[in-house]
Structure 1
Protein backbone atom coordinates (compact mmCIF):
# COMPACT_ATOMS: atom_id res chain seq x y z
CA UNK A 1 0.00 0.00 0.00
CA UNK A 2 1.28 3.45 -0.89
CA UNK A 3 -0.42 6.66 0.23
CA UNK A 4 0.66 10.13 -0.84
CA UNK A 5 -0.20 13.27 1.10
CA UNK A 6 0.81 16.82 0.25
CA UNK A 7 1.70 20.00 2.02
CA UNK A 8 2.64 23.15 0.17
CA UNK A 9 4.23 26.53 0.71
CA UNK A 10 4.03 29.76 -1.28
CA UNK A 11 6.56 32.56 -0.67
CA UNK A 12 6.95 36.09 -2.01
CA UNK A 13 9.72 38.55 -1.25
CA UNK A 14 13.05 38.43 0.54
CA UNK A 15 13.91 36.50 3.68
CA UNK A 16 13.10 39.17 6.27
CA UNK A 17 10.47 41.19 4.40
CA UNK A 18 8.85 38.28 2.57
CA UNK A 19 5.69 36.46 3.44
CA UNK A 20 4.58 32.93 2.95
CA UNK A 21 1.55 30.71 3.28
CA UNK A 22 1.32 27.02 4.18
CA UNK A 23 -1.44 24.66 3.05
CA UNK A 24 -2.22 20.99 3.52
CA UNK A 25 -4.11 18.61 1.27
CA UNK A 26 -6.69 17.98 4.01
CA UNK A 27 -7.38 21.69 4.45
CA UNK A 28 -6.24 21.61 8.09
CA UNK A 29 -4.04 24.51 6.99
CA UNK A 30 -5.18 26.73 4.15
CA UNK A 31 -2.90 29.62 3.24
CA UNK A 32 -1.75 29.81 6.87
CA UNK A 33 0.80 32.62 7.23
CA UNK A 34 4.45 32.12 8.03
CA UNK A 35 7.55 34.20 7.65
CA UNK A 36 10.84 35.25 9.18
CA UNK A 37 9.18 36.89 12.19
CA UNK A 38 6.96 33.87 13.02
CA UNK A 39 9.93 31.55 12.68
CA UNK A 40 12.62 33.53 14.48
CA UNK A 41 10.96 36.32 16.45
CA UNK A 42 7.91 34.74 18.09
CA UNK A 43 5.34 36.67 16.05
CA UNK A 44 1.98 34.97 15.35
CA UNK A 45 2.00 32.54 12.45
CA UNK A 46 3.45 29.12 11.87
CA UNK A 47 6.88 27.74 11.07
CA UNK A 48 8.31 24.50 9.68
CA UNK A 49 9.65 23.35 13.06
CA UNK A 50 6.29 23.36 14.82
CA UNK A 51 4.73 21.50 11.91
CA UNK A 52 7.47 18.85 12.09
CA UNK A 53 6.83 18.66 15.83
CA UNK A 54 3.09 18.18 15.42
CA UNK A 55 3.63 15.55 12.73
CA UNK A 56 6.19 13.67 14.82
CA UNK A 57 4.08 13.79 18.00
CA UNK A 58 0.99 12.58 16.13
CA UNK A 59 2.82 9.80 14.30
CA UNK A 60 4.66 8.56 17.39
CA UNK A 61 1.50 8.52 19.53
CA UNK A 62 -0.45 6.64 16.88
CA UNK A 63 2.40 4.13 16.45
CA UNK A 64 2.49 3.58 20.21
CA UNK A 65 -1.25 2.93 20.19
CA UNK A 66 -0.67 0.15 17.63
CA UNK A 67 2.22 -1.33 19.63
CA UNK A 68 0.22 -1.20 22.85
CA UNK A 69 -2.64 -3.04 21.16
CA UNK A 70 -0.25 -5.75 19.98
CA UNK A 71 0.83 -6.13 23.64
CA UNK A 72 -2.80 -6.43 24.78
CA UNK A 73 -2.90 -2.92 26.26
CA UNK A 74 -5.07 0.11 25.51
CA UNK A 75 -4.24 3.67 26.49
CA UNK A 76 -6.79 5.62 28.44
CA UNK A 77 -4.95 8.79 27.42
CA UNK A 78 -1.63 9.69 25.80
CA UNK A 79 -0.30 13.19 25.28
CA UNK A 80 2.93 13.75 23.37
CA UNK A 81 4.86 16.96 22.84
CA UNK A 82 7.69 17.10 20.31
CA UNK A 83 10.25 19.84 20.96
CA UNK A 84 12.07 20.52 17.70
CA UNK A 85 15.38 22.34 18.09
CA UNK A 86 16.42 24.80 15.39
CA UNK A 87 20.02 25.82 15.86
CA UNK A 88 22.37 28.25 14.19
CA UNK A 89 25.93 27.01 13.87
CA UNK A 90 28.94 27.61 11.63
CA UNK A 91 27.32 26.50 8.39
CA UNK A 92 23.90 28.07 8.94
CA UNK A 93 20.77 26.63 10.52
CA UNK A 94 20.04 22.98 11.23
CA UNK A 95 17.60 20.87 13.19
CA UNK A 96 19.89 18.69 15.30
CA UNK A 97 17.29 17.25 17.67
CA UNK A 98 13.70 16.40 18.41
CA UNK A 99 12.74 15.55 21.98
CA UNK A 100 9.49 13.67 22.53
CA UNK A 101 7.77 14.01 25.90
CA UNK A 102 4.99 11.51 26.53
CA UNK A 103 2.51 11.45 29.39
CA UNK A 104 0.27 8.40 29.36
CA UNK A 105 -2.34 6.53 31.37
CA UNK A 106 -2.34 2.88 30.35
CA UNK A 107 -4.24 0.54 32.65
CA UNK A 108 -2.34 -2.70 33.31
CA UNK A 109 1.03 -1.43 32.07
CA UNK A 110 4.11 -1.47 34.28
CA UNK A 111 6.89 1.06 33.76
CA UNK A 112 9.43 -1.38 32.30
CA UNK A 113 7.00 -2.59 29.62
CA UNK A 114 5.82 0.97 28.95
CA UNK A 115 9.40 2.18 28.42
CA UNK A 116 10.12 -0.76 26.09
CA UNK A 117 7.01 -0.16 23.98
CA UNK A 118 7.53 3.63 23.86
CA UNK A 119 11.13 3.14 22.65
CA UNK A 120 9.88 0.76 19.97
CA UNK A 121 7.32 3.34 18.79
CA UNK A 122 9.97 6.10 18.74
CA UNK A 123 12.28 3.98 16.59
CA UNK A 124 9.61 2.74 14.21
CA UNK A 125 7.06 5.48 13.61
CA UNK A 126 7.23 6.67 9.98
CA UNK A 127 8.12 10.27 10.91
CA UNK A 128 11.03 9.08 13.08
CA UNK A 129 12.21 7.08 10.07
CA UNK A 130 11.74 10.11 7.79
CA UNK A 131 14.04 12.19 9.90
CA UNK A 132 16.76 9.68 8.98
CA UNK A 133 15.62 9.20 5.38
CA UNK A 134 17.09 10.19 2.05
CA UNK A 135 15.53 13.46 0.90
CA UNK A 136 15.08 13.89 -2.84
CA UNK A 137 14.37 17.07 -4.80
CA UNK A 138 12.79 17.86 -8.15
CA UNK A 139 13.29 21.57 -8.89
CA UNK A 140 11.86 23.45 -11.88
CA UNK A 141 12.64 27.07 -12.65
CA UNK A 142 9.65 28.72 -14.29
CA UNK A 143 9.43 31.85 -16.34
Structure 2
Protein backbone atom coordinates (compact mmCIF):
# COMPACT_ATOMS: atom_id res chain seq x y z
CA UNK A 1 0.00 0.00 0.00
CA UNK A 2 1.22 3.53 -0.63
CA UNK A 3 2.42 5.77 2.17
CA UNK A 4 0.47 9.04 2.31
CA UNK A 5 2.13 12.32 3.19
CA UNK A 6 1.15 15.79 4.27
CA UNK A 7 3.17 18.76 5.41
CA UNK A 8 2.87 21.92 7.45
CA UNK A 9 4.96 25.08 7.48
CA UNK A 10 4.72 27.62 10.32
CA UNK A 11 6.34 31.04 10.73
CA UNK A 12 6.36 33.08 13.90
CA UNK A 13 5.22 32.49 17.43
CA UNK A 14 2.06 30.64 18.44
CA UNK A 15 -0.42 33.50 18.69
CA UNK A 16 0.85 35.85 15.96
CA UNK A 17 2.34 33.34 13.54
CA UNK A 18 0.73 31.66 10.56
CA UNK A 19 1.31 28.69 8.33
CA UNK A 20 0.20 26.49 5.50
CA UNK A 21 -0.98 22.88 5.62
CA UNK A 22 -1.03 20.76 2.46
CA UNK A 23 -1.45 17.20 1.35
CA UNK A 24 1.38 15.44 -0.44
CA UNK A 25 -0.24 15.36 -3.86
CA UNK A 26 -1.48 18.95 -3.53
CA UNK A 27 -5.18 18.08 -3.45
CA UNK A 28 -5.74 20.17 -0.33
CA UNK A 29 -3.89 23.23 0.83
CA UNK A 30 -4.90 25.83 3.36
CA UNK A 31 -3.66 28.61 5.54
CA UNK A 32 -3.91 28.22 9.31
CA UNK A 33 -3.27 30.35 12.35
CA UNK A 34 -3.95 30.58 16.06
CA UNK A 35 -7.23 32.35 15.26
CA UNK A 36 -8.37 29.70 12.76
CA UNK A 37 -7.61 26.97 15.26
CA UNK A 38 -8.65 28.33 18.64
CA UNK A 39 -11.01 31.16 17.72
CA UNK A 40 -13.24 31.80 14.68
CA UNK A 41 -10.60 33.18 12.29
CA UNK A 42 -10.34 32.51 8.57
CA UNK A 43 -8.42 29.47 7.39
CA UNK A 44 -8.31 25.82 8.30
CA UNK A 45 -6.83 23.87 11.19
CA UNK A 46 -5.61 20.36 12.01
CA UNK A 47 -8.95 19.39 13.60
CA UNK A 48 -10.88 20.25 10.42
CA UNK A 49 -8.46 18.13 8.42
CA UNK A 50 -8.98 15.23 10.84
CA UNK A 51 -12.73 15.73 10.41
CA UNK A 52 -12.42 15.72 6.62
CA UNK A 53 -10.32 12.56 6.73
CA UNK A 54 -12.79 10.86 9.08
CA UNK A 55 -15.87 11.88 7.06
CA UNK A 56 -14.25 10.71 3.83
CA UNK A 57 -13.08 7.41 5.26
CA UNK A 58 -16.42 6.70 6.92
CA UNK A 59 -18.40 7.50 3.76
CA UNK A 60 -16.29 5.05 1.76
CA UNK A 61 -16.43 2.35 4.45
CA UNK A 62 -20.23 2.73 4.72
CA UNK A 63 -20.69 2.61 0.93
CA UNK A 64 -18.61 -0.59 0.79
CA UNK A 65 -20.45 -2.20 3.70
CA UNK A 66 -23.85 -1.36 2.18
CA UNK A 67 -22.77 -2.73 -1.21
CA UNK A 68 -21.34 -5.89 0.37
CA UNK A 69 -24.73 -6.42 2.07
CA UNK A 70 -26.51 -6.17 -1.29
CA UNK A 71 -27.69 -2.56 -0.86
CA UNK A 72 -25.48 -0.33 -3.01
CA UNK A 73 -26.08 3.30 -2.03
CA UNK A 74 -26.99 6.08 -4.40
CA UNK A 75 -25.18 8.56 -2.15
CA UNK A 76 -23.55 8.86 1.28
CA UNK A 77 -22.97 12.33 2.76
CA UNK A 78 -21.06 12.57 6.05
CA UNK A 79 -20.07 15.45 8.30
CA UNK A 80 -17.60 15.05 11.15
CA UNK A 81 -17.77 17.49 14.06
CA UNK A 82 -14.44 17.40 15.89
CA UNK A 83 -14.46 18.64 19.50
CA UNK A 84 -11.19 20.17 20.72
CA UNK A 85 -11.37 20.67 24.49
CA UNK A 86 -9.03 21.75 27.24
CA UNK A 87 -8.35 18.81 29.55
CA UNK A 88 -5.89 18.18 32.36
CA UNK A 89 -3.50 16.90 29.69
CA UNK A 90 -3.89 20.07 27.58
CA UNK A 91 -5.85 20.69 24.38
CA UNK A 92 -7.29 17.34 23.28
CA UNK A 93 -9.62 15.99 20.62
CA UNK A 94 -12.19 14.44 22.96
CA UNK A 95 -15.10 13.61 20.67
CA UNK A 96 -16.06 13.29 17.03
CA UNK A 97 -19.71 13.32 16.01
CA UNK A 98 -20.33 11.68 12.65
CA UNK A 99 -23.58 12.66 10.97
CA UNK A 100 -24.35 10.76 7.79
CA UNK A 101 -27.25 10.78 5.39
CA UNK A 102 -27.52 8.09 2.75
CA UNK A 103 -29.85 7.25 -0.08
CA UNK A 104 -30.03 3.46 -0.19
CA UNK A 105 -32.83 1.92 -2.26
CA UNK A 106 -34.41 -1.22 -0.81
CA UNK A 107 -32.75 -1.32 2.61
CA UNK A 108 -34.83 -1.45 5.78
CA UNK A 109 -34.10 0.85 8.71
CA UNK A 110 -32.81 -1.91 11.00
CA UNK A 111 -30.30 -3.25 8.48
CA UNK A 112 -29.26 0.30 7.63
CA UNK A 113 -28.53 1.12 11.29
CA UNK A 114 -26.55 -2.08 11.85
CA UNK A 115 -24.47 -1.59 8.70
CA UNK A 116 -23.85 2.06 9.68
CA UNK A 117 -22.50 1.06 13.12
CA UNK A 118 -20.39 -1.75 11.65
CA UNK A 119 -18.88 0.70 9.16
CA UNK A 120 -18.02 3.08 12.02
CA UNK A 121 -16.27 0.26 13.89
CA UNK A 122 -14.34 -0.84 10.79
CA UNK A 123 -13.43 2.51 9.22
CA UNK A 124 -9.62 2.79 9.45
CA UNK A 125 -9.76 6.39 10.69
CA UNK A 126 -12.36 5.46 13.34
CA UNK A 127 -10.08 2.65 14.51
CA UNK A 128 -7.18 5.10 14.70
CA UNK A 129 -9.08 7.77 16.65
CA UNK A 130 -11.38 5.71 18.88
CA UNK A 131 -8.88 4.84 21.60
CA UNK A 132 -8.49 8.54 22.43
CA UNK A 133 -11.77 10.13 21.37
CA UNK A 134 -15.40 9.18 21.74
CA UNK A 135 -17.02 8.70 18.33
CA UNK A 136 -20.78 9.09 17.98
CA UNK A 137 -22.83 8.31 14.90
CA UNK A 138 -26.14 9.73 13.72
CA UNK A 139 -27.02 7.78 10.55
CA UNK A 140 -30.10 8.83 8.61
CA UNK A 141 -31.71 6.95 5.76
CA UNK A 142 -33.08 9.47 3.27
CA UNK A 143 -34.84 9.19 -0.03
- The TM-score normalised by the length of structure 1 is 0.87
Deviations 1:70-120 (A, max 9, x none): 111111121111000000123321011101001111001111100110101
Q: Structure 1: any 5+ residue segments left out of the alignment?
A: 135-143
Give the match's secondary structure for 1:9.
strand
Aligned to 2:125: 127
Determine which structure has greater relative contact order: mean sequence separation of CA pairs < 8 Å that are 6+ residues apart, divided by chain length.
2
Q: CA RMSD in A?
A: 1.5
Give the match's secondary structure for 1:87.
strand
Give the match's secondary structure for 1:65.
helix
Aligned to 1:82: 80
Aligned to 1:141: none
Residue 11 (structure 1) aligned with residue 5 (structure 2): no
Q: Structure 2: any 5+ residue segments left out of the alignment?
A: 133-143
- The TM-score normalised by the length of structure 2 is 0.87
Aligned to 2:71: 73
User: How far apart are residue 13 of structure 1 and its match?
Assistant: 1.2
Equivalent of 2:46 in 48, 65, 71: 48
Q: 4+ residue runs of structure 1 moved beyond 6 angstroms? A: none
Between Structure 1 and Structure 2, which shows a larger proportion of strand residues? 2
